[in-house]
Amino acid sequence: MLSRHKLLLHGASKPVVFLLCLLPFFWLFFGALTDQLGVNPAETLIRATGDWTLRFICIVLLVTPLRVISKTPTLARFRRMLGLFTYFYVVIHLLSYSWLDRGFDVPEIVKDIIKRPFILVGFLSFLLLTPLALTSFNKAIKTMGAKRWQLLHKLVYVISGLGLLHFFWMRAGKNNFAEVFVYAGIVALLLGWRLWQFVKKKRLSSVSAGAASLI
């Protein structure tokens, strides 16, 4: 037990996690430089960065259940970094689409967002993630008050749903849902666990409230 905590608290643990999170980026970057991204590199880049955004959402949502179930509170210190990497990948995803697919043609992009529900939902997810990334520093928590800050950051539940919808609609064109269902299953499990905890806590508190009224 102690050694695990020590490992997670080690000075190198954060840099190591940081580098791990950057690995997909490096892989794609060098892939693009050396022409290793397959026949249609633009498509590969856009898809891979979208995949990694979804994966990071899952990883971020995993932190709390893992922390509670494994009784490892120290895990929480990586959550902000993982959250920011989610934003990092969604920004690259948006950039790759805007640049490689739309050639930074802003009117074209706006038209695309209005016309295509799946792009609109993707863009909305990005917009909703932005305040979370912007309020990720310590002072923001102080200024906002912990309660309000926490409420804002619960937006990630909505964002995960929108992200999945974006992916689902993208794949709907080709009736190709296998991967979508895998991500949806993971997100459902992670959000379901929270719901279950919430109900349990409510029941407990109502029991204790009942007990209190008896006294």
Partner 1 sequence: MLIKTQSSGFDHSVPSEITTQAAYQGRRDIIKLMATGAAGAAMAGWAGREAMAQSVPKPGKLATLAGAKSLVAGAVTMENISSYKDATSYNNYYEFGTDKSDPAQNAHTLVTKPWSVAIEGLVKQPRSYTLEELLKLSPQEERIYRLRCVEGWSMVLPWVGYSLSELIKKVEPLSSAKYVEFVTLADPKTMPFVGSRVLDWPYVEGLRMDEALHPLALLTFGMYGEVLPNQNGAPVRMVLPWKYGFKSGKSIVKIRFTDKQPGTAWNKAAKQEYGFFSNVNPLVDHPRWSQATERRIGEDGLFTKKRKTLMFNGYEAQVGQLYAGMDLKKNF
205 counts as binding partner 1 under rule CB under 8 A:
no
Name which of residues 3 to 32 contact partner 1 (CB under 8 A): 32
Q: Contact, 56 vs 183, CB < 8 A?
A: no
115 counts as binding partner 1 under rule CB under 8 A:
yes
CA distances from 129 to 29, 30, 41, 166, 202 (A): 24, 27, 27, 14, 29
Nearer to partner 1, 3 or 34 (CB): 34
Q: Alpha-carbon distance 61 to 57, whole Å?
A: 6
107 counts as binding partner 1 under rule CB under 8 A:
no
103 counts as binding partner 1 under rule CB under 8 A:
yes
Nearer to partner 1, 41 or 161 (CB): 41
CA distances from 40 to 107, 110, 169 (A): 25, 24, 21
Q: Which of 22, 143, 27 is nearest to 84 (CA)?
A: 22
Q: What is the 3-state secondary structure (H, E, C) of 182-208?
A: HHHHHHHHHHHHHHHHHHHHHHHHHHH
SS3 content of the chain, % helix, strand, coil (to 5): 85, 0, 15
Stretch that binds partner 1, among 36-44, 58-66, 190-198, 199-207 (CB under 8 A): 36-44
Instruction: Return the residue of 117, 145, 185, 192 that touches partner 1, per CB under 8 A.
Output: 117
User: Residue with structure tokens 């179930």?
Assistant: 69
Nearer to partner 1, 92 or 170 (CB): 170
Nearer to partner 1, 15 or 179 (CB): 179
Name which of residues 37 to 66 contact partner 1 (CB under 8 A): 38-43, 45
Nearer to partner 1, 76 or 182 (CB): 182
- Per-residue interface string for the shown chain with partner 1, residues 153-192, x marking contact by CB under 8 A: ----------------xx-xxxxx-x--------------
Tokens of 214: 């008896």
Residues engaged in binding partner 1 (CB under 8 A): 32, 38-43, 45, 99-101, 103, 108, 112, 115-118, 169-170, 172-176, 178
